[in-house]
C-alpha cells in the first residue's frame, strides 16, 4: 500500500509514451479527491460569491488557519496515528502566550508548551502503547480544562497590543505574516517528508510498522517526532491566532478542529497510515478555507456551515479508496448470500 511498493510493482511495465508516463504519474498521486473538491468549490463559488476572490487576503488567512493545523495532523496521520488534541493545544498555547507580558518570551514559551504536549502524546502512544485516538482524546479534554484554569474561563488580552496589530498587517505584498508562516511551514514539511530520511520513514512506519521495526527504523522516535510536529504546529497556530486577535480565547480551536480534519483526510491521507501527501492537505485546506469564507460572506448561518463541513468530513472519511474497496467486498459477500466457509 505504501508508495515504494507501488513503484517496485510498476518497474516491469514502464511506460514510454508521454501520455503513458503522465497517466502513470497521476495514478500514483493521492490528491484526486482533494482536487475534485477544490474544483467543485471553485466553480460554485465563482458563480455564487466571486467576492471570495476579490477579498483574497481574507481567504488566504482562513486557508492558512485551517491548513496550519491540518499540516501537523498530516505528519501524524502518515504514521497511522491521530492527534485529536490539536484544538486544545491551540487554545492552551494561545492562553500561555497572552499571559506572559513579553511578546517574544511568550511566543517561545507557547511553542515550548506545544512541543511538551507533543512529547506527552508521543509518550502515551509510543511507550505506553495506548491507541492514539483515545490517548489524544483524553488530552483534548484535559488540555481544554487547563486552558480554562489558566485563563480563569475568560478571554485573555495580550499586554503588547501594538505587536498584535503590527502582526495583522501585510508584510510582503498582500501577504500577512500568518500566510507567510503557513507557506514556510508547507515548504518545510514537504521537504521533510519527501527529501529527509526521517520524514521518508514516516511512510514506512505507517505502511507496515512491523516491517519498519525489522528494517531498523527507530519507530518510537519517529512517533515522538510526529506528535511533536503536530503539537508544535498547533501551538504555532495558537500563537498566530492570539497575535492577530490581540486576545486568547480558551474556547478557541473548536471550529478549526472539524475543518482541519476534513482538509487532511480529503487530501488523501489514509487514516491507517502509509499514504498521503502535504500537497494534498494544502489542496484540501484551500478548498475548505474558500468554502468557509464564501459561507461567511454570503451570510450563511453557522449551524448550516457546520452541517456542510461535517458532511464533507463524512464524505472524506468514507470515500477513501481503501474504504470503497471494503464496501465493495461487503456488497459482494452480501450478494453471494454468505461467505465461503474457511474449511
The position carrying cell 496521520 is 77
Nearest distance, CB of residue 304 and another protein, angstroms: 6
The position carrying cell 498547533 is 234
Q: Cα(92)–Cα(144) distance, rounded to whole angstroms?
A: 7
As a whole number of angstroms, the longest Cα–Cα distance in the chain is 75
**Residues 96, 106 contacting (CB under 8 angstroms):** yes
Q: Cα(114)–Cα(253) distance, rounded to whole angstroms?
A: 14
**Residues 55, 297 contacting (CB under 8 angstroms):** yes
Nearest distance, CB of residue 130 and another protein, angstroms: 5
Q: Which is nearer to another protein, 26 or 322 (CB)?
A: 322
Nearest distance, CB of residue 70 and another protein, angstroms: 13
Binding site for another protein (CB under 8 A): 82, 84, 124, 128-131, 133-135, 137-150, 153, 258, 261, 265, 271, 301-307, 309-311, 313-314, 317-318, 320, 322-324, 326-327, 330-331, 333-334, 338-339, 341-343
Q: Which is nearer to another protein, 140 or 282 (CB)?
A: 140
Q: Which is nearer to another protein, 119 or 324 (CB)?
A: 324
Q: Cα(292)–Cα(318) distance, rounded to whole angstroms?
A: 22
Q: Which is nearer to another protein, 84 or 90 (CB)?
A: 84
Q: Which is nearer to another protein, 15 or 152 (CB)?
A: 152
Nearest distance, CB of residue 11 and another protein, angstroms: 31
Nearest distance, CB of residue 330 and another protein, angstroms: 5
294 exposed, middle or buried (CB, 10 Å; 0-12, 13-18, 19+)? buried
Amino acid at each position: 500500500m505504501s508508495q515504494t511498493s507501488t513503484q517496485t510493482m510498476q518497474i516491469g511495465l514502464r511506460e514510454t509514451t508521454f501520455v503513458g508516463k503522465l497517466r502513470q504519474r497521476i495514478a500514483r498521486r493521492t490528491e484526486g479527491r482533494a482536487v475534485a473538491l477544490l474544483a467543485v468549490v471553485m466553480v460554485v463559488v465563482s458563480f455564487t460569491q466571486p467576492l471570495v476572490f476579490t477579498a483574497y487576503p481574507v481567504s488566504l488567512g482562513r486557508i492558512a488557519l485551517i491548513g496550519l493545523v491540518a499540516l501537523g495532523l498530516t505528519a501524524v496521520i502518515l504514521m497511522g496515528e491521530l492527534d485529536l488534541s490539536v484544538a486544545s493545544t491551540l487554545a492552551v498555547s494561545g492562553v500561555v502566550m497572552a499571559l506572559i507580558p513579553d511578546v517574544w518570551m511568550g511566543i517561545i514559551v507557547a511553542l515550548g508548551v506545544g512541543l511538551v504536549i507533543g512529547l506527552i502524546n508521543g509518550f502515551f502512544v509510543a511507550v505506553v502503547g495506548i491507541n492514539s485516538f483515545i490517548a489524544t482524546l483524553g488530552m483534548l479534554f484535559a488540555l481544554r480544562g487547563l486552558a480554562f484554569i489558566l485563563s480563569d474561563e475568560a478571554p485573555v488580552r495580550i499586554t503588547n497590543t501594538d505587536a498584535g496589530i503590527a502582526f495583522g498587517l501585510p508584510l510582503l505584498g498582500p501577504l500577512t505574516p500568518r500566510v507567510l508562516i503557513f507557506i514556510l511551514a508547507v515548504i518545510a514539511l514537504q521537504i521533510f517528508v519527501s527529501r529527509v530520511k526521517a520524514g521518508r520513514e514516516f511512510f514506512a512506519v505507517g505502511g507496515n510498522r512491523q516491517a519498519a521495526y525489522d528494517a531498523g527504523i527507530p519507530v518510537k522516535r519517529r512517533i515522538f517526532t510526529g506528535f511533536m510536529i503536530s503539537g508544535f504546529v498547533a501551538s504555532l497556530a495558537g500563537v498566530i491566532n492570539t497575535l492577530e486577535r490581540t486576545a486568547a480565547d480558551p474556547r478557541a480551536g473548536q471550529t478549526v478542529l472539524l475543518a482541519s480534519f476534513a482538509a487532511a483526510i480529503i487530501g488523501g491521507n489514509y487514516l491507517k497510515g502509509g499514504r498521503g501527501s502535504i500537497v494534498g492537505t494544502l489542496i484540501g485546506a484551500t478548498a475548505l478555507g474558500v468554502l468557509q469564507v464564501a459561507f461567511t460572506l454570503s451570510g450563511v448561518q453557522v449551524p448550516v456551515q457546520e452541517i456542510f463541513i461535517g458532511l464533507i468530513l463524512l464524505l472524506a472519511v468514507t470515500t477513501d479508496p481503501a474504504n470503497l474497496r471494503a464496501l465493495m467486498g461487503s456488497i459482494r459477500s452480501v450478494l453471494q448470500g454468505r461467505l465461503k466457509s474457511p474449511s
